Amino acid sequence: MAGLKVGNVGEYLREQRRSAQLSLRQLAEAAGVSNPYLSQIERGLRKPSAEILQQLAKALRISAETLYVQAGMLDARERDELEVPAAILTDPSINERQKQVLIQIYESFRKENAAAGESRAAEGTQEDQEADRAEGSAAVREETGP
């Protein structure tokens, strides 16, 4: 079992627990997992499920997505797309309606920017095609004469 080593999520959890100044027992209790199980996760002997990572993240007051990335369940780009909404949802200073409106605005900006990027890429492609046609026509004129 010692040879299993499951990513670096365990090391990351241990660092987060220590920086939060929590004992192993305190974090296990706050997250609703057993002390031995948490110890095995920290030592890299067990691979926690997404649900357990979410419970641990909540107890540590950190982003669950960050733990998913550490565990290899989510890539960094996907995490970046999820972190802003997650931060909004955990903000206690705004109400639920305000949180949903902020998330909708954020997502609309992301869609607008993605569409603009696709449009620019398509325009670039069209311009490239037109330039290629113009160069091809000029080459044909040169070969065949005026």
- The structure's pTM equals 0.52
* Chain mean pLDDT for the chain: 81
Is the pLDDT at 57 greater than 60, yes or no?
A: yes
3-state class of 20 per DSSP?
coil
Other C-beta atoms closer than 10 Å to the C-beta of 44 total: 17
Binned at pLDDT 50, 70 and 90, residue 5 comes out as very low
Is the pLDDT at 75 greater than 80, yes or no?
A: no
Residue-level pLDDT at 66: 82
